[in-house]
Amino acid sequence: MTIKAERRFFRRAVSDRLPRMTAPAISLVMPTYNEAKNVAELLRRVHDSFAGSGVAVEMIVVDDNSPDGTTKIAEGLKDRYPGLKVICRTTERGLATAVVRGWEAAGGAYFAVIDSDLQHPPDIIRRLYEAAMKENADMAIASRKVEGGGTQDWEWYRVVISNVANIIAKILLPKTLWGIHDTTTGCFLFKADRVNLKKLSPTGFKIFLEVLVRGKFAKNIEVPYVFNQRTEGASKMSLKQDFLFIYHLLLLGSATGEVLVPAGLAALFGLLLFRLF
Ligand SMILES: Nc1nc2c(ncn2[C@@H]2O[C@H](COP(=O)(O)OP(=O)(O)O)[C@@H](O)[C@H]2O)c(=O)[nH]1
Ligand SMILES: [Mg+2]
Let me know how many helices (H) and strands (E) the chain has, helices first.
9, 9
Longest dimension (CA), the chain: 77
Q: Name the residue of 115, 119, 162 whose CB sits within 8 Å of the most ligand 1 atoms, as the mutation to test its pocket.
A: 115
User: Rounded mean pLDDT of 92-121?
Assistant: 97
Please check the confidence at residue 267 and state whether its pLDDT lies above 90.
Answer: no
Q: Whose CA is nearest to atom 12 of ligand 1?
A: 115
Q: What ranges do the domains of the chain cover?
A: 23-233
Distance 11 CA to ligand 2 centre (A): 48
Read off the pTM: 0.88
What is the C-alpha separation between 16 and 1, in angstroms, rounded?
20
- For residue 162, the model assigns a pLDDT of 81
Distance between Cα 179 and ligand 1 center (Å) = 27
Regarding the beta carbon of 182 and ligand 1, being less than 6 Å apart is answered: no
- β-strands 220-224, 150-151: how paired? unpaired
Is there an atom of ligand 1 within 6 Å of 222 CB?
no
State the pLDDT at residue 249.
83
User: What distance in angstroms lies between residue 171's CA and the mean position of ligand 1's atoms?
Assistant: 26
Contact 65, 71 (CB under 8 A): yes
pLDDT score recorded for residue 155: 82
**Domain at 23-233: CATH architecture:** Alpha-Beta Complex (3.90)
